[in-house]
Amino acid sequence: QVQLVESGGGLVQAGGSLRLSCVASGRTFSTLAMGWFRQGPGKEREFVAAISRSGSNTYYGDSVKGRFTISRDNAKNTVVLQMNSLKPEDTAVYYCAAEGRRPALAMSRNETPDYWGQGTQVTVSS
């Protein structure tokens, strides 16, 4: 069973930056496509970013393109979401996700990944 543990959420002013990390265990990390989703108050779950197993392909939701960057370190079993130029509408619980079978592209289509973290709160004040 894959376990995902997120860290790095918090409160930040609009225009600021936050860095979310997710550490995976329970399976060889390089066999997992990784991604981030979010759910804001009263909103549906939204795809944020995904990265392929090798790290060579990345995908982003339209609302975060140019502001967020996803990366991974297969030696450290870690995926990172660097969030810059944050806006109040980025306020949400952010979930790390892992996909064991399908490509990372599947997450960009909002297909439900195999594994989820517990979530970390990101709050952006205006």
Nearest-angstrom CA–CA distance, 36 and 84: 15
Q: What is the pLDDT of residues 9-18, one digit of tens each?
A: 999 999 999 9
Nearest-angstrom CA–CA distance, 45 and 122: 14
Nearest-angstrom CA–CA distance, 29 and 5: 13
Given this model, what pLDDT does residue 78 score? 98
CB 115 within 8 A of CB 100: yes
Block mean pLDDT (10 aa), the chain, length 126: 96 98 97 98 96 97 98 98 98 97 93 96 97
